[in-house]
Amino acid sequence: MWHDINTMNRITRALFGVLILCVLNAGYKWVARQPMFELRVVKVQGANEGPLLYVDAATVRSAALPRIRGNFFTADLAAVRNAFEMVPWVQRASVRREWPNKLIVSVDEYEVLGAWGEQDGRLLSVDGFLFTANLDEAEAEGRLPQLEGPDGSAHEVAERLADLRDWLAPLKLVPRELQLSKRYAWTAKLNNGITIKLGRVHERDAFRVRVARFVTAYPRLSAQMAGRIESVDMRYPNGLAYRMRGQAGSSNSEILQPDAV
């Protein structure tokens, strides 16, 4: 082998390559340890550099910084992202390096839709995710709708609330509460105090049909009994029932057939 020039050349090139890699690795480690690459700036900004409504940059930075390890070269960006995503109001975070000692953290905040459960202490985002944050901050611009449902129903409750808002808008009515029971029955309470019982519907189209019947009937009911309607029951296949304020017992409800509606 020692007399084979080609083999000797290959061995030499291989050893030289290993030596170069060792030198580069040692050089990288030496450079990476230099003080100038210690993380001195962590900039927190909104997604697409937009404003942050609930996340205070200084607060979120102080909460996440103790969890960050390493410098510009060695910091684990996934770990940094996870640290920021543990902060209230942060739905998603993305992290990038900026030479020579800066991290840029872009934050997507939760967009709150309503409060979830009377005793739950959580909030529901517009895209159907439950999260924990300060309720007083969330209600700084007004009371949130009260929402409730069984485990795993948050996304559907968010969608049905959005539907109700759209379908009731022509009547200038707004849902203030929406509940999905364990038996999958829907109940909504409006800003005028009326409770709508929509019953057990699993499909969006069936939900829409019952709301549409209420929208059709409401102007007449409101004209005849303005301010006196306590609840409207839309569970009847061919009509509805309503209850006046102060009435007790189901026997005092009236059934309105389609021609009356």
Within 8 A by CB and 6+ apart from 50, the residues are none
Q: Which of 61-65, 138-142, 156-160 has the lowest mean pLDDT?
A: 61-65
Last residue of a domain, one of 109, 136, 160: 109
- Average pLDDT in the 69-74 region? 75
Q: What is the pLDDT of residues 166-200, one digit of tens each?
A: 999 999 999 999 999 999 999 999 999 999 999 99
Note whether 73 and 132 are same-domain residues: no
Burial class (CB in 10 A: 0-12, 13-18, 19+), 65: middle
261 in a structural domain: no
Domain that holds residue 81: 37-109
pLDDT greater at residue 2 or residue 106:
106
- Average pLDDT in the 92-109 region? 89
Average pLDDT, the chain: 82
CA-nearest of 160, 163, 200, 192 to 176 is: 192
pLDDT (0 to 100) of residue 41: 79
pLDDT (0 to 100) of residue 258: 47
User: What sign for the dihedral angle of Cα 115, 117, 119, 123?
Assistant: negative
pLDDT (0 to 100) of residue 12: 57
Note whether 192 and 234 are same-domain residues: yes
User: What sign for the dihedral angle of Cα 127, 132, 134, 139?
Assistant: positive
Q: What is the pLDDT of residues 210-258, one digit of tens each?
A: 999 999 999 998 888 877 899 999 998 878 898 888 766 553 455 555 4
* Confidence check: pLDDT of 129 > 70: yes
Note whether 17 and 46 are same-domain residues: no
pLDDT (0 to 100) of residue 119: 65
- Average pLDDT in the 42-55 region? 85
Q: Are 213 and 198 in contact (CB under 8 A)?
A: no
Note whether 134 and 234 are same-domain residues: yes
The two three-digit tokens of residue 218, written as one number:
């409401």
CATH code of the domain covering residue 97: 3.10.20.310
Note whether 137 and 237 are same-domain residues: yes
* Confidence check: pLDDT of 32 > 70: no
pLDDT (0 to 100) of residue 174: 97
- Average pLDDT in the 79-83 region? 88
pLDDT (0 to 100) of residue 226: 75
Note whether 148 and 187 are same-domain residues: yes
190 in a structural domain: yes
> How many domains does the structure of the chain reveal?
3
pLDDT greater at residue 73 or residue 98:
98
pTM: 0.78
pLDDT (0 to 100) of residue 261: 44
* Confidence check: pLDDT of 107 > 70: yes
Note whether 77 and 183 are same-domain residues: no
Note whether 247 and 139 are same-domain residues: yes
* Confidence check: pLDDT of 155 > 70: yes
